[in-house]
Amino acid sequence: MSDFIGRLQIMQSAFSHSDVANYLWQGRFLVYLVGIAWVVSILNFGILDKSLNYFGIRPRTITGLFGILFAPFLHSSWRHIEGNTIAFLTYGGLILLRDPSDFGAVTVTIALLGGLGTWFVGRPPNHIGASGVTFGYLGFLLSLAYFERSIPAALVLVVVAFFYSDRLWGILPLYDRISWEAHLFGFLSGIFAARYLQTIKPIFAQGVEVVQQFEAWLW
C-alpha cells in the first residue's frame, strides 16, 4: 500500500497545477470545436436546408474571406461531418496528448493559413468542411519529427505514417467534388506550424489569457 501511495505522489509531483489546467483548457477547446460543428450541422440539415453552406470559403470574393472562420464548421452531409469528426478527434487527440500547449496554437494556425490559401487558389464556388484542418494536423504530425528531432515526435510519426499515410492522396486533384485545395493548403499549414511552433505558441498563449480573463469576468 505504501508503495502505491508513493507512486501516486511521484505522479502528482510530475504534473503542476498549470499543466493540469492546460490539459483541461485545451481538451475543452477540442470538445467545443466538435460540439459547435455538430450543432451547426443539426441546424443546417434539419431546419435550414443547408443554406448555411453559402458561408463557406468562396474563393477570391470579399464575403468569402469570412468563410475562413466558418467553413470548418460547415458540412455537406452527415457522412461528411462523421468522417471529419473521427479524423479531427484522432489527429487532434494525438497533438493534445503529445503536448497540450500545442493544440490550440496549431489549430488556429492551420485554420487561418489553410483557409487563406484555399481562398486564393481554390475553385469556385465554395469550399466547406473541417478536412482542411485535419489534413493540417496530419502535416504537423508527420513533419514534427524532422523539425523537433525527439523520440516522442518520431514515435508519433511512425504511428501516423503507418495508419494514415494513405490519406495523403487527398492533397492531389483527383476528384472534382473534393476540395483538394483545402487539403493541400491545410497540410502545408501544418508543416508551417511544426516549423515555427515555438514562435506561434506564445502568441496563442496571449490570446488564451485574454479569453480566460473574459470568462472569469463573465462568470
More confident residue, 161 or 178: 178
pLDDT digits (tens, 9 = 90+) for 121-169: 999 999 999 999 999 999 999 999 899 888 878 888 888 887 887 888 9
Lowest mean pLDDT among 7-11, 55-59, 176-180, 184-188: 7-11
Cell of 213: 480573463
Domain extent listing, the chain: 18-218
pTM, two decimals, is 0.85
Say whether pLDDT at 180 is over 80: yes
CB within 8 Å of 13: residues ≥ 6 apart: none
Q: Given this model, what pLDDT does residue 17 score?
A: 54
Cell of 111: 485554420
**Which among 180, 168, 55, 53 is positioned nearest to 114, based on CA atoms?**
180
CB within 8 Å of 125: residues ≥ 6 apart: 58
Q: How remote is the C-alpha of 168 from its chain's centroid?
A: 17
Task: Say whether pLDDT at 18 is over 70.
Answer: no
Provide the percentage of residues in the chain whose pLDDT is more than 70: 90
Task: Give the CA distances from residue 111 to residues 35, 106, 119, 140, in Å, rounded to whole numbers and listed in that order.
Answer: 17, 9, 12, 13
The CATH architecture that domain 18-218 belongs to is Up-down Bundle (1.20)
pLDDT band at residue 7 using 50, 70 and 90 as cut-offs: very low
pLDDT in tens, 75-103: 999 999 999 999 999 999 999 888 888 99
